[in-house]
Structure 1
Amino acid sequence: MSGPSSPDNPWPVRTVNTKIGDWIHKLGQVWVEGQITQLNRRPGTKTAFIVLRDPSVDMSITLTCKPQVLDRADIPLTEGSRVVVSGRPTFYAGRGTLSLAITDIRPVGIGELLARLERLRKLLAAEGLFDPALKRRLPFLPTRIGLITGRASAAERDVVSVSRDRWPAVRFDVRNTPVQGPTAVPAILRELESLDADESVDVIIIARGGGSTEDLLPFSDETLCRAVAACTTPVVSAIGHEPDIPLLDYVADRRAATPTDAAKIVVPDVLAEQALIAELRHRSAQALRNWVRRERHGLDSLRTRPVLADPLRMVEMRAEEIERHRHALRRDVTRLVDHEHRHLEHLSARLSTLGPAQTLARGYAVVQRVSGAMAAVQADPEVVTSVADMPIGSQLRIRVADGATHAAVMGVEKK
């Protein structure tokens, strides 16, 4: 039966079980950590049966050992104990079951647990899961609060009663889960995912009362911390009391010292808010009255100014001033025109006195030489200033005060 299986050549059950056992037995010796959820040790039997569960997910494995292995443990083992075991996987071909045959079992002490938690805290901090910049803002007034807590617990009663006392209209979506033991983390993860997917839930509170370090171990689980960090809905951690600080407190968007404190953080006090609203209304009204009073005083101040008391006063003053300037300008222009007129008359008189017409009127004449052919048409004859310019026979034009005459040079007398 070493060949491949087929519909025409199927393997029998013994072959399948044998092959599975061969593969499992190759795994060899392994160390496994988990939490004991069931311990069956019957007197007189040679084999003890233990169910070991993963504290983070819903997975478990069956352990088998000799009773002497349990007797060698440092402390008595009970259901809920965290242990580390060493064993070899064994597949029982006859029943088709898998178990881990262990030869050593060691309880995980509180000191070792705290050391592991410290290493996990440093790891998560290095990844930035504790960064305040990643914390989501809580809503001012949530209408619906998701609450994950134990069934009929004091934490549930405190959160619900205090919240409704502070704001009666607040609503809750309560999810009851185990809050300790190996089944706590898987149950909390399921409810956390469900509440985060519900858009009507504004904030999620994970609450539990105080307890021992072992009781609070589920709230330091790495899987739960990463799930809270990945939530889109703000998460408030209210685990234990003031001395208890599980890793969930560092990852959550807000840490509450107690479940009662969580209710006070998430839900505002209606009486305090009403008092604040009344105070703000009073301050707003007072500020408005002060503003109106200040603006009214400013208007009264403006109305008492002369320019607003008698608006035409400024125009009248300017009109009188303009009229004075007009009279002064007219007077100055008239004086200047009269002065220039007198100056013009003076110059005209001097021009008349010194002009050629007056000279001719006193008996003088202007002698001009003209050409014979052009005498009749020449417009600008040449003025004679010397006898040298008047040879005998020259044609002359003699101008006197009342006219002009033409003459010819008959002779020349030199001085």
Structure 2
Amino acid sequence: TPDEEMHVAVRGELSYYEPQGSCSLIVEDVVNMGESEYSQVYAENKETLAADGLLDDENKQPLPELPTTVGLVTSADSDARIDAVTAIHDRYPEVDIKINDASVQGPDALEALMSGVAAFDEDATVDVIVVTRGGGADKTLRIFNETPLCRVLANTETPTAVGIGHEDDQTLADEVADYRFMTPTHAGEVVPKRANLDQEHVQLADRLDTAYRSAVDSKLTTSKTALDNAYESVVASRLQKLEASLEHAADRHAEAELLDLRNQLDTAYRTLEQEKEHQEQLEETVDEVRDEAMSEAEAKVARQQRRYRTAIAVLVLVVLGLAALYVI
């Protein structure tokens, strides 16, 4: 669409309406013969903003994933306001919308729009700022090409989203904003779809349950393996210690047994030696007793023999005496 003051060449047919005496030109083609004065202003403004880096994508902020409050800057009682609110609530009914009414065209529009954006930027409860208006003549949209408004939009700490005019309209405010949507009916793009979130929530819950079960199973398996390894390690270590203690105890027991056996052997040997010595003493005593008995027996026999001889002698004397008597 040609801008005002643009120099163009047109081709078409003339139409004459006789009752009113009016003549019309039915345009079939338009050729741009040179930029209008405003086109030069637009280009200069865009060049200035680009030089300051306000059009660079790396300087743009991402929109919040789930804003709880949206700040809406638009004209009061306009279709754009109704369309924007409806679009946002259709996608996510629970989101809060704060509205700053601002003129979107005319002498007061620039200050009103800048003030509305700045006020929401200072409001800590606002998560994203939306600026929008419906379509109109190109001249009525020029306010959104002004560099002061573009700088305010670009320098906010709160993410901004701008949608101006119809789908084929594009302003510098669209380009400096963190996010551009096509028309007020697309303003809902700044919030997620509740249905999608619910579905995603279910999917995430399922994935979380699956991941939880998998993590628990993996943790249990890992813990069981670690516990088994630890148990085996402790048991092996304990067995080694017990084996070492048992071997040490066995060695000490064997040494004690050997010592006891050695002591018993020494005692038995000493006892044997004592018994042997006692036997020898006993044998000596027996020999002595035997010798004494023999001596006593020999003495007794000698005494008996002496008595026998004495008796015989007496008997002989008696016989001799009797014989003598008989002879007499």
The equivalent residue for 2:177 is: 252
Does residue 318 (structure 1) correspond to residue 244 (structure 2)? The answer is yes
The equivalent residue for 1:113 is: 38
Rate the CA distance shift 1:141–1:322 in 2: closer, same or farther, 3 A. same
The equivalent residue for 2:196 is: 272
Rate the CA distance shift 1:300–1:220 in 2: closer, same or farther, 3 A. closer
Q: Secondary structure at the match of 1:214?
A: helix
| 8 Å CA contact retained: 1:303, 1:309 | no
Does residue 164 (structure 1) correspond to residue 97 (structure 2)? The answer is no
Determine which of 272, 275, 293 is the counterpart of 2:217.
293
Once residues 283 and 142 of structure 1 are traced to their aligned partners in structure 2, the CA distance between those partners, rounded to angstroms, is 24
The equivalent residue for 2:140 is: 215
Once residues 292 and 190 of structure 1 are traced to their aligned partners in structure 2, the CA distance between those partners, rounded to angstroms, is 55
Rate the CA distance shift 1:158–1:309 in 2: closer, same or farther, 3 A. farther
Greater RCO, 1 or 2 (C-alpha within 8 Å, sep 6+): 2
Once residues 221 and 306 of structure 1 are traced to their aligned partners in structure 2, the CA distance between those partners, rounded to angstroms, is 78
Rate the CA distance shift 1:257–1:318 in 2: closer, same or farther, 3 A. farther
| 8 Å CA contact retained: 2:73, 2:130 | yes
Q: How many residues align?
A: 225
Q: Name the structure where helix makes up a greater proportion of residues.
A: 2
| 8 Å CA contact retained: 1:307, 1:314 | no
The equivalent residue for 1:188 is: 113
Structure 1: gaps spanning 5 or more residues: 1-72, 76-108, 335-415
| 8 Å CA contact retained: 2:74, 2:100 | yes
Q: Secondary structure at the match of 1:216?
A: helix
Structure 2: gaps spanning 5 or more residues: 8-33, 260-328
Largest Rg, 1 or 2? 2
Q: Could you tell me which amino acid in structure 2 is paired with residue 206 of structure 1?
A: V
Once residues 74 and 299 of structure 1 are traced to their aligned partners in structure 2, the CA distance between those partners, rounded to angstroms, is 78
| 8 Å CA contact retained: 1:158, 1:259 | yes
Aligned-pair CA distance for 1:219:
0.6
| 8 Å CA contact retained: 1:145, 1:203 | yes
Does residue 228 (structure 1) correspond to residue 132 (structure 2)? The answer is no
Q: Could you tell me which amino acid in structure 2 is paired with residue 260 of structure 1?
A: T
Once residues 74 and 156 of structure 1 are traced to their aligned partners in structure 2, the CA distance between those partners, rounded to angstroms, is 32
Aligned-pair CA distance for 1:119:
1.7
Rate the CA distance shift 1:110–1:174 in 2: closer, same or farther, 3 A. farther
The equivalent residue for 2:186 is: 261
Once residues 318 and 242 of structure 1 are traced to their aligned partners in structure 2, the CA distance between those partners, rounded to angstroms, is 89
The equivalent residue for 2:207 is: 283
Q: Name the structure where strand makes up a greater proportion of residues.
A: 1
Does residue 126 (structure 1) correspond to residue 61 (structure 2)? The answer is no
Rate the CA distance shift 1:273–1:307 in 2: closer, same or farther, 3 A. same
Q: Secondary structure at the match of 2:99?
A: strand
The equivalent residue for 2:72 is: 147
Q: Secondary structure at the match of 1:248?
A: helix
For residues 259-294 of structure 1, the C-alpha deviation after alignment (integer angstroms, 9 at most, x for no partner) is: 233322x22222222322332232222222222222
| 8 Å CA contact retained: 2:46, 2:172 | yes
TM-score, normalising length: structure 1: 0.46
TM-score, normalising length: structure 2: 0.57
Once residues 175 and 291 of structure 1 are traced to their aligned partners in structure 2, the CA distance between those partners, rounded to angstroms, is 50
Instruction: Give the root-mean-square deviation of aligned CA atoms.
Output: 3.5
Q: Which moved more, 1:295-304 or 1:159-168?
A: 295-304
Q: Could you tell me which amino acid in structure 1 is paired with residue 193 of structure 2?
A: D
Q: Could you tell me which amino acid in structure 2 is paired with residue 148 of structure 1?
A: V
Rate the CA distance shift 1:319–1:206 in 2: closer, same or farther, 3 A. same
Q: Secondary structure at the match of 1:129?
A: coil
